């Protein structure tokens, strides 16, 4: 999801998956060797079939701790995107880069509706969805394919499964509450800057067209 936030033009490819003439997975993942988080995780059933040789990592944790974390991070971000301020902000950003208009659709259609059935803010439903997802992956995917992994285990089981060397750096905590909030604040200020430049960009284009020699009003 962080890649889509940084490159909103990639969101359209995920939105197009709902179209019967959906693009090939190879086109979506061009330039990438792996996918983590949503929206890719929402299509795990398709990806397991599309990439039969791919390694699968099923992350697990205490459901209550997962929900507590989600309410302060990704669910909070979803609530923000439903606000009038976010609608105005994304609309202004779309003047500069039309791809931004696909970002809410990616979150809502690909994740909120597809994964949570539209009831992501209901605690009991969210916890049931979390548990059923883990159970279905374990039941559906051949046992030799996935690594069932708790991030508290650190690098060693993960690197052993992926057959790569263990890094010297500490195991990352990019999506904990503090780092998520810090990134969200940074992204909001960056979005405001982009939004403010959007109307100016549109105005410059309009003035340029009005002052171009030979330009006529239609």
CA distance 115 to 137: 13
pLDDT in tens, 43-71: 899 899 889 999 999 999 999 998 988 88
Per-residue pLDDT for 89 more than 50?
yes
pLDDT in tens, 17-33: 665 445 578 888 888 88
Task: Provide the strand spans (E) within the chain.
Answer: 56-59, 146-149
Which domain does 87 fall in, by range? 2-211
| pLDDT value of position 150 | 93
Contact 114, 18 (CB under 8 A): no
Please name which of 25, 18, 39 lies closest in space to residue 103, comparing C-alpha atoms.
39
Question: CA 57: distance to chain centroid?
Answer: 17
| Residues facing 56 on adjacent strands | 146
| pLDDT value of position 175 | 56
Domain of 162, CATH number, reads 3.40.50.300
CA distance 124 to 102: 29
Domain tally, the chain: 1
Question: Does residue 216 lie in a domain region?
Answer: no
pLDDT in tens, 159-182: 999 999 999 999 887 655 555 455
Cis peptide before 39 (omega within 30 of 0): yes
Q: Provide the token pair at 141.
A: 């995917």
Question: Does residue 218 lie in a domain region?
Answer: no
Question: Does residue 30 lie in a domain region?
Answer: yes
The answer to whether the predicted template modeling score (pTM) of the entire model surpasses 0.85 is no
């Amino acid at each position: 999801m962080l890649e889509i936030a940084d490159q909103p033009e990639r969101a359209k490819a995920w939105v197009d998956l709902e179209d019967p003439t959906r693009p090939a997975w190879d086109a979506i993942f061009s330039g990438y060797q792996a996918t983590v988080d949503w929206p890719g995780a929402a299509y795990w059933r398709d990806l397991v079939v599309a990439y039969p040789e791919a390694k699968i990592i099923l992350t697990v944790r205490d459901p209550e701790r997962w929900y507590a974390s989600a309410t302060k991070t990704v669910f909070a971000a979803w609530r923000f995107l439903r606000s009038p301020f976010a609608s105005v902000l994304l609309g202004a950003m779309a003047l500069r880069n039309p791809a931004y208009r696909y970002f809410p659709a990616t979150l809502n259609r690909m994740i909120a509706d597809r994964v949570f059935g539209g009831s992501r803010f209901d605690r009991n439903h969210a916890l049931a969805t979390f548990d059923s997802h883990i159970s279905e992956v374990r039941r559906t995917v051949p046992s030799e394919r996935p690594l069932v992994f708790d991030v508290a285990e650190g690098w060693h089981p993960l690197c052993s499964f992926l057959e790569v060397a263990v890094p010297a750096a500490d195991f990352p905590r990019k999506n904990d509450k503090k780092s998520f909030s810090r990134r969200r604040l940074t992204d909001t200020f960056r979005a405001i800057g982009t939004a403010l430049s959007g109307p100016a960009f549109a105005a410059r284009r309009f003035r340029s067209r009005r002052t171009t020699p030979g330009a006529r009003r239609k």
